[in-house]
């Protein structure tokens, strides 16, 4: 036994010496392997000179085209919930996720609301990341003017994301930091909507002060001073801060950079980034890359036919109420907004002269996203990924101006701005859409609201408009959405998935 | 005085020890200087019926020196004149013969049972007698694997080893999912494969017939020597070597037919019409016009087929005086049961060993592997979803499109099948080899150096052709028309990938009988592994021309370079370094002790977190060798064993995650200008480090009743700490990979076998195994303050529960009426026909708080058994296997994005009060019925007849005249029958994902296989 101990001791020495020698012979070098085929933060060739932070803010712009931000869920929550549109497509298509958006209530388990949550927080994360890079990235040298402009751009996009989130969900977590230790910091409780609005206002005020009035042609569509002011007007309007709304809208009106163009051209591909455009989600396509640089926006609402008429899913179908009651007689905007498909007796031509087939699942489709057949042919794709989403246009700003002015008792200016919009709609035909002349604040308010509905129909503001006007209950019950209960349904539920993930830190909205 | 005496005795003892040690050293040197005392012993080993026994292990007692008999039972060994030789082989009683100067020793071995304990098992950088092992290692003989028709050898281990979970897929050439002793990690829980020393993530490149044995190492003491690679268990594969003796040629072949018996029951046209009409009526929608939809198409039947599988193998071995050669050629072809999936594999292996002198050997081994695969052109979910009312096609180029209610989302499955078939060419090449030098010196020491290389190269080309024309049948006012998508374009793509892995092992081992019953065996070594991979891929769409359907043109250069769809390329690189040592000691063959230490470094972690030390200790006591046991005749062998070990896991995740990475994959668009953007690729964790598995393993090995009964019972308890986890973050889409919390897996593994003879001609054996594993998450760490979710919240991982359990509501029934809703808890918007859920918290309403644990995707129980019988030349084998306690989530039924074909359970859907209390109303817009609940869980307990095989061994005498040593013909059936309640293709656990496992989205069917085979040795 003793003998054994000495042998094992000998072995132990041998072992240890092998361990020591082997551990220090060149293995350190072997273990230093670098990321292959991908940059890490230390070797990314950050560009110098002009736009040094562009790459980071571009990631946020990329998110504007994401499916979770501006596609199926966005269209459902902004438009299908309103009285302007129905789900469309076939009755069972989309299941409960879709039909609940139309008929209420939306369940906390609804997949669309979780998509919105994820999408908008991803956009916010990329905005926060850009701000962090400006403040901390020592490898980029630039002037403070460039830094301020990049931060302004990030804050504009962040404000847009929070504005949608607060309108969708009410109380949401307010995250203004790019977390590097998410495990400890990401689970943030919600704050009251007022606090989020204050945050949005300060972001937009900063953006309005520091963004350029316009960009070089190669950057057409980037966030501008006008976009920040226009969005700010909408943020004030929803809070009924009339004077501030008037001032912000006035900044856009008085900039002299915007004007109204043909209502017909406005929603064609050639109407993208026109003089009327204040902010658009930019999308493009080519024959080689028909979808990746675009947004799945037109396709969701495209004609649900077959073969060449398979232009999309046929969702967000303009409602019967919009088609039959909203428009004044002869308003050309009705036909430009609603694509009436062919019936066995009445042919339904498109603006490009094609005749839609008989027997499509839906009688009406959104004509404001109808794509040019020549584009479809040249790109070799029917689904309109190249179609820009008009987020904010000058007519909207004018109507916000009119609304704020009227609420402040300045009916003259209100009538004047309203008339600008109506005059453009008339397109030279003076037999239709007579000028509104009433100076009665209440009557004028109704006129502005009606104008807002038809001018901006299917453009994602209607639901939020009727909510902020306090008319949602009456309007939606009136069009047969009898389940709608304003005390619950003006807000979407907080996604159950997110509540679960937060371990109950997130609190469900009332009524759900 | 007494104390002084003791001290003196101590000093003397020490002196004695040192002196003995010096004598010993002298002895070592003197004996190593020549072979004067060694003699060459020859002999023949036969069985009681006079049959020559091949492959009998002959070991010089107390050393690792040994040989084995050739096919004629002959052996030659050079050893000392006074050595004792130990003869052992499976199925026969062990025999010891002392050489006593004899040069010829003929041995007669008698059949005996339960001799597995004399087997040699792989223990990592060496081998050990099974009887000396202190951990849990199970060995499966290669012959038992080779006789089953499967392209992947691991698939055949299913049900054979307690604690080993193998989940097969029917996909041609696919690897099964393998878990050892439950799920230890939220990350990679796959074991590491060690093929003749080289560490691998899969063994797809091996031929079943080329495997001598597979050892499954399960306990921490056996795997600790693999350091950072071992934590999920080790499957060690030993490839065949040339047997001693003359040239031997073996040919094996089997051909089988695969058939899917358990199809998913879906509605036919009549059933579909009935259900869709009911659904529309429930939605208050206008009825659908079926006038033109008169077909009744079974799409599922159309995409499945009877499929061929064949494996063939030819091996030639030669073992001469100075060298041995082993050559193996294999060909495997498997069709998938899903059209037209197939997989063809060619392989060869050449092993060569040259004995330059008695103590100096060099050798090498190379395996070449080439596959050609054709992916399935059809999709199972497509076939399950497509409405059965649509006819297939009008003519070769015109198919029918689906009805308008699913046209946008569901295509014609057969059009897709015929369009995609044979549109890609995928090939792979792989060469795995090693070179070794082994030098024995100072008698007891052996130096062995091996370098391994594994080079892989995969290439693929594919083509996307123009679509067919489609007939859109008229519905209501819409007329029937035929359309062709004239915006579609042809495209081609190409991809190539390379992988490289280099490993070196250098070991020094020491094996010595110290006399007086002391045996010691030790090994120390150093190893490095380096892995590298890169890939490129590109695709172009031709916007001007239509590329013809001709494989000669399927290169991206065929399309003008201005038409790229994508170009991509990437790489990966990682490495690890380790040094290790193990000492095994036994005293009087009764007391066993061993210890292991390993120090490992991995490039996956930051330099300061890179190095870790792991190790184990084990002890065993062979109680039956004690003198007090001599009177207990019934028990032939009894061993108690226990082991403790600490090992690490750094497997299965991307490299360099501790450093920040950036991604420039996304773009910003302004006008029609496209700009590259940059964003964080993931959130780095600078403190990322390996996870640690610490555990104990205690067991009893027993043989009794003249070795006819053998049993092993093992308890284990292991805890994984700092589990590596990919975390879904709240309010963030970036991926985050970090260390969290700890998990315990405890369990018991039992295997029992009985072998006996009835009369002269009948031998039989029965064996069974059972294991139970309990998985508990002790903590998810203090680093996160949010919930760990999987599969979008369907699975949760929380403290005190098993990992990744199903979380949801429990179905109580169906609300039969409005009155019924008011009587029990309900959602605010519950309607008659909706699923009633159990009000867990008893607050009178159904809310999200009424969800809870509703099952686990991971089976806590597994069992397997077999019965074999031999009568003269006829042999019979039955194998059964099953799992219990797990559930399968029928996620495929939760799809609501369109109207899809129904599964047959929906024929019983609720239609009014009292109609049904399980199946909710037909209305896919009732969201409450699509919540995660027990309605979507199926108990997946099952028992399956794995194998039924009858073989015939031709009479040896008759064959000998034809120069045939041995010939066996067999017929075999696999997966013949499965008893289970699962409605999907297979009840096998779906465990590929750990935090979100168990979801069946139409997983690939596991077919039954009927085959015939032949095995001939010349």
Distance CA B640, CA B619 (A): 8
Which is higher by pLDDT, B713 or B560? B713
**Do residues B868 and B765 make contact, with C-beta atoms less than 8 angstroms apart?**
yes
Q: What is the pLDDT of residues A345-376, one digit of tens each?
A: 999 999 999 999 998 999 999 999 999 999 99
Could you give the angle at the alpha carbon of B587 between the alpha carbons of B582 and B591, nearest 5°? Answer: 80
Per the CB < 8 Å rule, is B470 touching A222? Answer: no
User: 3-state SS of B876-895?
Assistant: EEEEEEEEECCEEECHHHHC
Distance CA A113, CA A78 (A): 12
Q: What is the pLDDT of residues B122-164, one digit of tens each?
A: 888 888 888 888 888 888 888 888 877 777 888 888 878 888 8
**Do residues B338 and B315 make contact, with C-beta atoms less than 8 angstroms apart?**
no
For A271, name the nearest residue in chain B, comparing CA atoms only: B671
Nearest to B449 by CA among B504, B510, B529: B504
Per the CB < 8 Å rule, is B784 touching A22? Answer: no
The bridge status of strand B360-374 relative to strand B424-441 is antiparallel
Best A65, A72, A91 residue to mutate vs chain B (most B CBs within 10 Å): A91
pLDDT grade for B735, boundaries at 50, 70 and 90: confident
User: SS3 of A223, please?
Assistant: coil
What one-character-per-residue DSSP string does B103-122 give?
A: SB--EEE-B-S-GGGGSEEE
Per-residue pLDDT for B243 more than 80? Answer: no
pLDDT grade for B15, boundaries at 50, 70 and 90: very low
What pTM does this model have? 0.84
Q: What is the pLDDT of residues A98-141, one digit of tens each?
A: 999 999 999 999 999 999 999 999 999 999 999 998 998 887 77
How far does the CA of residue B14 sit from the closest CA of chain A (Å)?
A: 8
Inform me whether the C-beta atom of residue A29 falls under 8 Å from chain B C-beta atoms: no
**Do residues B46 and B92 make contact, with C-beta atoms less than 8 angstroms apart?**
no
- The radius of gyration of chain A from alpha carbons, rounded to an integer in Å, stands at 27
Contact residues, A window 171-200, toward B, CB-based 8 Å cutoff: 173, 175, 179-180, 182-184, 186-188
End-to-end CA distance of chain A: 77
Distance CA A366, CA A79 (A): 11
**Span B1004-1010, average pLDDT:** 89
Q: Which of A35-49, B291-305, B657-671 has the highest mean pLDDT?
A: B291-305
Per-residue pLDDT for A46 more than 70? Answer: no
Residues facing B512 on adjacent strands: B520
What is the pLDDT at residue B682?
86
At which residue do the structure tokens 């009538």 appear? Answer: A415
Per-residue pLDDT for B300 more than 70? Answer: yes
**Mean pLDDT, chain A, integer:** 91
Helices A242-254 and A394-407: crossing angle in degrees, nearest 10, is 140
Could you give the angle at the alpha carbon of A116 between the alpha carbons of B803 and B828, nearest 5°? Answer: 75
Residues of B in contact with A182 (CB under 8 A): 683, 729, 732, 734, 736
Per-residue pLDDT for B1001 more than 90? Answer: no
What is the pLDDT at residue B26?
34
User: SS3 of A322, please?
Assistant: helix
Per-residue pLDDT for A243 more than 70? Answer: yes
Nearest to B327 by CA among B435, B248, B409: B248
User: SS3 of A431, please?
Assistant: coil
Per the CB < 8 Å rule, is B597 touching A381? Answer: no
User: SS3 of A136, please?
Assistant: helix
A92: nearest CB among B405, B510, B597: B405
The mean-pLDDT minimum among A76-85, A124-133, A179-188 falls in: A179-188
What is the pLDDT at residue B900?
93
Q: What is the largest CA-CA distance in chain A?
A: 118
Inform me whether the C-beta atom of residue A32 falls under 8 Å from chain B C-beta atoms: yes
What is the pLDDT at residue B753?
93
What is the pLDDT at residue B263?
92
Question: Within 10 Å of residue B579's Cβ, how many Cβ atoms?
Answer: 26
Tokens of B640: 């108690």
Q: Which helix (H) or strand (E) holds A230?
A: helix A225-238
ipTM of the prediction = 0.89
Nearest to B840 by CA among B827, B853, B849, B829: B849
Per-residue pLDDT for B118 more than 90? Answer: no
**Span A448-453, average pLDDT:** 97
pLDDT grade for A444, boundaries at 50, 70 and 90: very high
**Span B239-252, average pLDDT:** 82
Per the CB < 8 Å rule, is A306 touching B472? Answer: yes
Backbone φ and ψ of A234, nearest 5°: -70, -35
Contact residues, A window 215-234, toward B, CB-based 8 Å cutoff: 215, 217-222
**Do residues A317 and A366 make contact, with C-beta atoms less than 8 angstroms apart?**
yes
Distance CA B67, CA B46 (A): 16
**Span A34-55, average pLDDT:** 65
pLDDT grade for A299, boundaries at 50, 70 and 90: very high
Residues of A in contact with B17 (CB under 8 A): 2-3, 5-6
What one-character-per-residue DSSP string does B183-245 give?
A: ---SS--PPEEEETTEEES--TT--GGGEEEEEEE-SHHHHGGGGGG-TT-EEEEEE--PPSE
What is the pLDDT at residue B1?
41
pLDDT grade for A45, boundaries at 50, 70 and 90: low
Q: Which of A375-384, A453-462, B208-217, B253-262 has the highest mean pLDDT?
A: A453-462
The mean-pLDDT minimum among B262-271, B320-329, B498-507, B854-863 falls in: B320-329
What is the pLDDT at residue A49?
37
Per-residue pLDDT for B444 more than 90? Answer: no
Distant-in-sequence, close-in-space partners of B34: CB < 8 Å, separation ≥ 6: none
**Span A68-75, average pLDDT:** 97
Distances from the Cα of B533 to the Cαs of A37, B456, B501, B571, in angstroms? 10, 9, 9, 5
Nearest to B788 by CA among B995, B999, B994: B995
Distance CA B806, CA B219 (A): 29
A58: nearest CB among B677, B793, B897: B677
Per-residue pLDDT for B421 more than 50? Answer: yes
Distance CA A488, CA A461 (A): 19
The bridge status of strand B137-141 relative to strand B211-217 is antiparallel
How far does the CA of residue B956 sit from the closest CA of chain A (Å)?
A: 51
Contact residues, A window 384-403, toward B, CB-based 8 Å cutoff: none
Nearest to B666 by CA among A328, A148, A55, A421: A55
How far does the CA of residue B452 sit from the closest CA of chain A (Å)?
A: 17
What is the pLDDT at residue B112?
57
Per-residue pLDDT for B10 more than 60? Answer: no
The bridge status of strand B398-400 relative to strand B469-472 is parallel
The mean-pLDDT minimum among A260-274, A438-452, B68-82 falls in: B68-82
Per the CB < 8 Å rule, is A31 touching B13? Answer: no
Per-residue pLDDT for B111 more than 90? Answer: no
Per-residue pLDDT for B302 more than 60? Answer: yes
Could you give the angle at the alpha carbon of A264 between the alpha carbons of A261 and A266, nearest 5°? Answer: 50
Omega of the bond leading into A105 within 30 degrees of 0 (cis): yes
Per-residue pLDDT for B583 more than 90? Answer: yes
Per-residue pLDDT for A424 more than 70? Answer: yes
pLDDT grade for A26, boundaries at 50, 70 and 90: low
The bridge status of strand B691-704 relative to strand B811-814 is unpaired
Distant-in-sequence, close-in-space partners of B471: CB < 8 Å, separation ≥ 6: B394, B398, B399, B400, B401, B480, B481, B482
> A–B: how many Cβ contacts below 8 A?
376
Per the CB < 8 Å rule, is B483 touching A121? Answer: no
What is the pLDDT at residue B422?
87
How distant is the alpha carbon of residue A425 from its chain centre?
A: 26
Per the CB < 8 Å rule, is B520 touching A4? Answer: yes
What is the pLDDT at residue A62?
95
**Span B98-109, average pLDDT:** 83
How far does the CA of residue A467 sit from the closest CA of chain B (Å)?
A: 23
What is the pLDDT at residue B931?
94
Tokens of A88: 């469309």
**Mean pLDDT, chain B, integer:** 87
**Span B485-497, average pLDDT:** 90
pLDDT grade for A153, boundaries at 50, 70 and 90: very high
Distance CA B416, CA B33 (A): 75
The mean-pLDDT minimum among B87-96, B251-260, B766-775 falls in: B87-96
Residues of A in contact with B574 (CB under 8 A): 33
CA dihedral B112, B115, B118, B120 (to 10 degrees): 130
What is the pLDDT at residue B116?
46
What is the pLDDT at residue B956?
72
* Sequence-separated contacts (24+) of B751-755 with Cβ below 8 Å: B751/B138, B751/B162, B751/B711, B751/B712, B752/B709, B752/B710, B752/B711, B753/B114, B753/B709, B753/B710, B753/B711, B754/B113, B754/B708, B754/B709, B754/B710, B755/B91, B755/B113, B755/B114, B755/B707, B755/B708, B755/B710
What is the pLDDT at residue B12?
41
Per the CB < 8 Å rule, is B731 touching A94? Answer: no
Per-residue pLDDT for B245 more than 70? Answer: no
How far does the CA of residue A288 sit from the closest CA of chain B (Å)?
A: 5
Per the CB < 8 Å rule, is A306 touching B668? Answer: no
Distant-in-sequence, close-in-space partners of B1012: CB < 8 Å, separation ≥ 6: B254, B255, B256, B969, B970, B971, B972
Contact residues, A window 68-97, toward B, CB-based 8 Å cutoff: 89-97
Per-residue pLDDT for B965 more than 50? Answer: yes
How far does the CA of residue A445 sit from the closest CA of chain B (Å)?
A: 36
Per-residue pLDDT for A278 more than 50? Answer: yes
Q: Is the dihedral of CA A132, A135, A136, A139 positive or negative?
A: positive
Distance CA A260, CA A269 (A): 16
What is the pLDDT at residue B123?
85
For B488, name the nearest residue in chain A, comparing CA atoms only: A380
For B569, name the nearest residue in chain A, comparing CA atoms only: A37
End-to-end CA distance of chain B: 77
Could you give the angle at the alpha carbon of B651 between the alpha carbons of B649 and B652, nearest 5°? Answer: 145
Contact residues, A window 448-507, toward B, CB-based 8 Å cutoff: 483, 496-503, 505
Per the CB < 8 Å rule, is A107 touching B571? Answer: no
**Do residues B403 and B472 make contact, with C-beta atoms less than 8 angstroms apart?**
no
Per-residue pLDDT for B39 more than 70? Answer: yes
């Amino acid at each position: 036994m003793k003998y054994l101990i000495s042998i094992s001791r000998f072995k132990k020495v041998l072992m240890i010496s092998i361990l020591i020698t082997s551990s220090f012979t060149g293995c350190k070098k072997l273990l230093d392997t670098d990321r292959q085929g991908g940059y890490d933060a230390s070797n990314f060739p950050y560009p110098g000179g002009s736009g040094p932070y562009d790459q980071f803010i571009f990631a946020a712009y990329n998110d504007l085209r994401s499916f979770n931000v501006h596609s199926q869920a966005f269209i459902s929550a902004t438009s299908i919930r309103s009285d302007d549109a129905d789900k469309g497509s076939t009755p069972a298509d989309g299941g409960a996720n879709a039909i609940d958006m139309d008929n209420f209530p939306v369940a906390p388990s609804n997949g669309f609301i979780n998509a919105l949550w994820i999408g908008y927080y991803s956009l916010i994360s990329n905005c926060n990341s850009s701000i962090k890079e400006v403040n901390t990235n020592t490898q980029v040298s630039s002037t403070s003017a460039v830094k301020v402009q990049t931060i302004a751009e990030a804050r504009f996009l962040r404000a847009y994301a929070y504005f949608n989130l607060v309108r969708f969900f009410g109380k949401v977590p307010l995250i203004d930091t790019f977390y590097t230790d998410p495990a400890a910091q990401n689970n943030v409780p919600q704050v009251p909507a007022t606090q989020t609005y204050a945050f949005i206002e300060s972001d937009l005020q900063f953006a309005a002060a520091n963004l350029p009035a316009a960009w070089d042609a190669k950057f057409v569509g980037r966030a501008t001073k006008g976009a920040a002011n226009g969005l700010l007007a909408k943020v004030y309007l929803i809070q009924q801060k009339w004077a501030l709304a008037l001032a912000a809208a006035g900044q856009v009106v008085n900039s002299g950079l915007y004007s109204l163009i043909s209502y017909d051209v406005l929603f064609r591909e050639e109407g993208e980034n026109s003089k009327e455009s204040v902010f658009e989600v930019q999308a493009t396509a080519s024959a080689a890359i028909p979808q990746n640089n675009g947004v799945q926006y037109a396709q969701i609402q495209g004609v649900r036919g077959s073969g060449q008429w398979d232009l999309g899913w046929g969702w967000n179908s303009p409602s019967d109420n919009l088609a039959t009651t909203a428009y004044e007689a002869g308003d050309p905007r009705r036909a430009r907004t609603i694509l009436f498909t062919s019936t066995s007796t009445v042919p339904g031509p498109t603006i490009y002269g094609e005749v839609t087939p008989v027997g499509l699942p839906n009688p009406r489709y959104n004509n404001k996203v109808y794509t040019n057949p020549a584009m479809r042919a040249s790109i070799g794709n029917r689904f309109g990924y190249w179609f820009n989403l008009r987020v904010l246009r000058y007519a909207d700003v004018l109507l916000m101006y009119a609304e704020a002015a009227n609420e402040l008792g300045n009916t003259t200016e209100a009538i004047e701005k309203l008339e600008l919009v109506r005059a453009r709609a008339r397109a030279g035909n003076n037999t239709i859409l007579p000028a509104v002349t009433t100076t009665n604040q209440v009557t004028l308010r109704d006129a502005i609201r009606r104008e807002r509905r038809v001018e901006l129909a299917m453009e994602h503001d209607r639901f939020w408009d009727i909510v902020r006007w306090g008319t949602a209950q009456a309007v939606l019950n009136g069009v047969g959405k009898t389940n709608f209960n304003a005390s619950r349904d003006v807000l979407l539920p907080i996604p159950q998935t997110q509540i679960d993930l937060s371990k109950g830190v997130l609190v469900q909205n009332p009524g759900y | 005085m007494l104390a002084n005496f003791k001290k003196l005795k101590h000093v003397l003892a020490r002196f004695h020890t040192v002196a003995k040690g010096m004598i010993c050293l002298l002895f070592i040197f003197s004996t190593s200087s020549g072979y004067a005392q060694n003699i060459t012993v020859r002999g023949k080993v036969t069985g009681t019926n006079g049959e020559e026994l091949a492959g009998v292990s002959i070991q010089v007692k107390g050393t690792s020196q040994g040989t084995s008999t050739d096919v004629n039972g002959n052996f030659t060994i050079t050893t000392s004149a006074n050595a004792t030789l130990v003869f052992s082989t499976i199925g026969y009683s062990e025999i010891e013969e002392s050489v006593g100067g004899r040069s010829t020793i003929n041995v007669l071995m008698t059949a005996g049972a339960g001799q597995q304990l004399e087997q040699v098992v792989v223990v990592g950088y060496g081998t050990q007698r099974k009887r000396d092992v202190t951990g849990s290692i199970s060995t499966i003989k290669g012959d038992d694997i080779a006789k089953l028709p499967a392209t992947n050898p691991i698939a055949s281990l299913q049900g054979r080893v307690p604690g080993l979970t193998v989940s097969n897929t029917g996909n041609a050439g696919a690897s099964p999912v393998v878990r050892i002793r439950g799920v230890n990690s939220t990350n990679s829980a796959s074991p590491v494969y060690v093929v003749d020393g080289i560490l691998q993530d899969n063994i797809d490149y091996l031929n079943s017939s080329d495997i001598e044995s597979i050892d499954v190492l399960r306990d921490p003491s056996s795997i600790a020597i693999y350091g950072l690679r071992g934590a999920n268990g080790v499957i060690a594969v030993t490839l065949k070597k040339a047997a001693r003796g003359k040239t031997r040629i073996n040919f094996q072949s089997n051909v089988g037919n695969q058939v899917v018996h358990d199809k998913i029951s879906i509605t036919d046209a009549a059933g579909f019409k009935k259900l869709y009409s009911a659904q529309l009526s429930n939605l208050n929608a206008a009825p659908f016009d079926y006038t033109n939809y008169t077909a009744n198409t079974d799409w599922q039947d159309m995409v499945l087929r009877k499929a061929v599988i064949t494996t063939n193998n030819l091996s030639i071995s030669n073992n001469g005086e100075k060298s041995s050669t082993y050559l193996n050629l294999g060909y495997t072809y498997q069709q998938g049961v899903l059209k037209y999936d197939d997989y063809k594999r060619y392989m060869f292996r050449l092993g060569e060993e040259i004995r330059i002198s008695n103590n100096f050997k060099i050798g090498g081994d190379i395996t070449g592997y080439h596959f050609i695969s054709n992916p399935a052109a059809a999709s199972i979910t497509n076939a399950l979803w497509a409405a059965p009312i649509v006819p297939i096609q009008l003519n070769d180029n015109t198919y029918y499109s689906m009805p308008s209610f699913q046209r946008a989302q569901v295509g014609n499955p057969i059009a897709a099948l015929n369009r995609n078939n044979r549109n890609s060419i995928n090939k792979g090449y792989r060469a795995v080899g090693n070179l070794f030098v082994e030098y024995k010196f100072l008698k007891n020491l052996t130096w062995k150096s091996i370098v391994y290389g594994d080079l892989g190269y995969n290439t693929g080309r594919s083509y996307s052709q123009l679509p067919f024309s489609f007939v859109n049948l008229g519905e209501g006012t819409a007329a029937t028309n035929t359309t062709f998508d004239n915006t579609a374009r042809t495209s081609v793509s190409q991809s190539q990938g390379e992988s490289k892995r280099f490993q070196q092992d250098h070991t020094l081992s020491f094996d010595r009988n110290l006399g007086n019953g002391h045996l010691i065996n030790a090994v120390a070594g150093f190893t490095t592994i380096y892995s590298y991979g890169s890939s490129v891929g590109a695709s172009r769409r031709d916007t001007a021309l239509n590329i013809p359907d001709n494989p000669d043109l399927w290169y991206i250069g065929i399309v003008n370079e201005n038409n790229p769809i994508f170009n991509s390329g990437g790489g990966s690189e990682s490495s690890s370094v380790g040094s290790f040592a193990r000492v095994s000691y036994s005293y009087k063959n009764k007391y066993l002790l061993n210890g292991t230490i390993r120090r490992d470094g991995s490039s996956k972690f930051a330099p300061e977190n890179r190095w870790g030390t792991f190790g184990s200790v084990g002890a065993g006591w062979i109680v039956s060798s004690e003198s007090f046991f001599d009177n207990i005749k019934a028990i032939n062998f009894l061993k108690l064993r226990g082991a403790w070990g600490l090992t690490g896991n750094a497997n299965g995740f991307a490299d360099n995650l501790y450093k920040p990475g950036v991604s420039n994959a996304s773009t910003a668009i302004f006008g029609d200008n496209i700009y590259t953007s940059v964003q964080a690729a993931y959130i780095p964790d600078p403190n990322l480090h390996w996870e640690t598995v610490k555990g104990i393993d205690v067991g009893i090995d027993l043989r009794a009743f003249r070795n006819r009964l053998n049993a092993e019972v093992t308890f284990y308890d292991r805890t994984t700490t700092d589990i590596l986890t990919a975390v879904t973050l709240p309010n963030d889409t970036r991926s985050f990979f970090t260390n969290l919390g700890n998990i315990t897996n405890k369990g018991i593994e039992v295997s029992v076998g009985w072998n006996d003879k009835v009369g002269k001609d009948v031998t039989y054996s029965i064996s069974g195994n059972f294991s139970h594993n309990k998985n508990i998450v002790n903590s998810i760490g203090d680093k996160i303050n949010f919930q760990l979710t999987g599969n979008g919240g369907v699975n949760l991982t929380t403290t005190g529960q098993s990992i990744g359990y199903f979380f949801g509501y429990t179905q109580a029934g169906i609300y039969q009426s409005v009155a019924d809703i008011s009587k029990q808890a309900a959602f605010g918007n519950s309607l008659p026909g909706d699923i009633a859920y159990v009000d867990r918290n008893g607050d009178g309403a159904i809310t999200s708080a009424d969800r809870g644990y509703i099952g686990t995707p991971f089976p806590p129980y597994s069992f397997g058994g077999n019965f074999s019988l031999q009568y003269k030349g006829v042999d019979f084998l039955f194998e059964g296997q099953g799992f219990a306690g797990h559930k399968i989530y029928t996620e495929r039924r939760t799809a609501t994005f369109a109207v899809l074909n129904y599964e047959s359970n929906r024929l019983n859907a609720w239609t009014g009060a009292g109609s049904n209390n399980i199946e909710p109303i037909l209305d896919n817009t009732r969201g409450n019925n699509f919540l995660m609940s027990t309605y979507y869980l199926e108990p997946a307990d099952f028992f399956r007849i794995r194998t039924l095989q009858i073989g015939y061994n031709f009479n040896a005498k008759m064959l000998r005249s034809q120069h045939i040593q041995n010939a066996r013909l067999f017929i075999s059936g696999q997966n013949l029958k499965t008893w289970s309640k699962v409605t999907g293709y297979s009840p096998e656990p779906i465990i590929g994902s750990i935090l979100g496992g168990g979801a069946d989205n139409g997983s690939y069917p596991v077919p039954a296989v009927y085959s015939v085979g032949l095995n001939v040795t010349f």
